[in-house]
Amino acid sequence: MKVFVTGGAGYIGSTVVAELIAAGDSVVVFDNLYQGHRGAVHPEAIFIQGDLADRGAIDAALAEHRPDGIMHFASYTLVGESVTHPFLYLGDNVRNALNLLESAVQYDVRRFILSSTANLFDDPEEMPIKATERIVPGSPYGESKYLIERLLHWLDKIYGLRYAALRYFNACGSHSPDLGEDHDPETHLIPLVLQVALGQRPHITVFGDDYPTPDGTCVRDYIHVVDLAQAHILALRALENGVSRKYNLGNGQGFSVKEVIEVARQVTGHPIPTVIGERRPGDPAILIADSTAIQQELGWKPRYPSLQTIIETAWAWHQRHPHGYEKG
Ligand code: UDP
């Protein structure tokens, strides 16, 4: 298949691109390099530096390359930023997706994979969280993804645009020592912990230890980025003759912040000092995915469910590229 990947220079997008190419697909990456890195894009992918705010640029790319499917990763992705800058999310994220979708319909691309989020489930009635759980977005970020899911719902009904919305829990780990996570600023737990192990930070601040969890720190479902990538590829193939779907993607097991730090100590051999800080606004105590639907319907199964493996792969990347892509 020929796949058009927006945000294909970002952490998850670039991993999916590498896995698509390994599977024999051809890939066109469309990325404005706001957060992405040119060096993360697989050399066999066609790269277009473009912005989804520019409808003409999307039209030109789709007209030239005529992809069989689109995977849409490019967006603002930070819960906290979405509260301080809501229009980047409720505005830009949604407008950019709308540009892409209008262009997809115009150029007759009928398969679409949306990178969605666990932030749709701010008040779950059941844990682990099924894809059928009621939607309560936890922030303008979650709301922006929900709005895009709703756009897809209608475009499916009206134009037959088949889609899969994949709601990820905590993406982590590295594809390989040369393809990993490089955000600026970095806000995620595992890369921050590994920056402490590299001597780049004096300690990790634990955001609250008074949650109603076994050790008082938040519990999350950490899923290896290559497992996520495989889910995207399976979902895209399944759309060929199938119906649109929504899946939650995680390992189905939760680990606390303290457990993550302890495993990182074992993997790195560094003491990783901690400081207990305030709760981070908007953090629910526990988020664990129920991924049974994608396992049963598409045969997806995580290959790297162990937290130790996840952190080992992330550590291999951080050791080889302690300052990320551009700086080494
Ligand atoms: N966290 C923390 N210290 C940090 C960064 C994150 O204690 O410096 C916690 C955060 O409160 C959450 C978990 O680690 O419970 C995972 O956070 P992350 O930002 O990696 O992912 P999120 O759960 O927000 O998607």
pLDDT at residue 283 above 90? Answer: no
Domain count, the chain: 2
Ligand 1 midpoint to CA 188 (Å): 6
Name the strand (E) or helix (H) holding 2.
strand 2-6
- Pairing relationship of beta strands 69-72 and 274-277 according to DSSP bridges: unpaired
Same domain for 241 and 101 = yes
DSSP 135-194: PB-SSHHHHHHHHHHHHHHHHHHHH--EEEEEEESEEES-SBTTB----SS---HHHHHH
Substitution candidate for ligand 1 out of 192, 217, 257 with most atoms within 8 A of CB: 257
Rounded Cα gap, residues 257 and 209, in angstroms: 9
Q: Is 204 in the pocket of ligand 1 (CB under 6 A)?
A: yes
Span 164-175, mean pLDDT? 97
pLDDT at residue 289 above 80? Answer: yes
Lowest mean pLDDT among 38-42, 55-59, 322-326: 322-326
Q: In ligand 1, which atom is closest to the CA atom of 287?
A: 23
Mean pLDDT of the chain: 97
Same domain for 243 and 95 = yes
Predicted confidence at residue 328, as pLDDT, reads 46
Predicted confidence at residue 282, as pLDDT, reads 80
CATH of residue 128's domain is 3.40.50.720
Same domain for 232 and 83 = yes
Same domain for 211 and 155 = no
Residue with CA at minimum distance from ligand 1 atom 14:
189
pLDDT at residue 260 above 50? Answer: yes
Same domain for 116 and 77 = yes
Predicted confidence at residue 326, as pLDDT, reads 77
Q: Is 311 in the pocket of ligand 1 (CB under 6 A)?
A: no
Q: Which domain holds residue 12?
A: 2-172+222-249
pLDDT at residue 22 above 50? Answer: yes
Distance in Å from the first CA to the final CA of the chain: 33
Same domain for 66 and 46 = yes
Same domain for 68 and 43 = yes
pLDDT tens column, 77-107: 999 899 999 999 999 999 999 999 999 999 9
Phi-psi category of 208—alpha, beta or left, where left has phi over 0 and alpha has psi -120 to 50?
Answer: left
DSSP 69-119: EEEE--S---HHHHHHSHIIIIIIIHHHHHHHHHHHHHTT--EEEEEEEGG
Q: Is 170 in the pocket of ligand 1 (CB under 6 A)?
A: yes
pTM, whole model, 2 decimals?
A: 0.97
Same domain for 42 and 126 = yes
Q: In ligand 1, which atom is closest to the CA atom of 257?
A: 14
Same domain for 81 and 165 = yes
Strand arrangement, sheet containing 2-6: 46-49, 26-31, 2-6, 69-72, 111-117, 162-168, 245-249
Q: Is 172 in the pocket of ligand 1 (CB under 6 A)?
A: no
Question: What are the backbone angles phi and psi of residue 293, rounded to the nearest 5°?
Answer: -60, -50
Same domain for 114 and 90 = yes
Substitution candidate for ligand 1 out of 79, 83, 181, 188 with most atoms within 8 A of CB: 188
CATH of residue 280's domain is 3.90.25.10
Same domain for 116 and 256 = no
Same domain for 267 and 245 = no
Instruction: Indicate whether 261 belongs to any domain.
Output: yes
Residue type, 118: A
Instruction: Indicate whether 275 belongs to any domain.
Output: yes
Q: In ligand 1, which atom is closest to the CA atom of 170?
A: 25
Which residues are the active-site residues? Answer: 141
Ligand 1 midpoint to CA 190 (Å): 8
For the chain, give the percent of residues with pLDDT over 70: 99
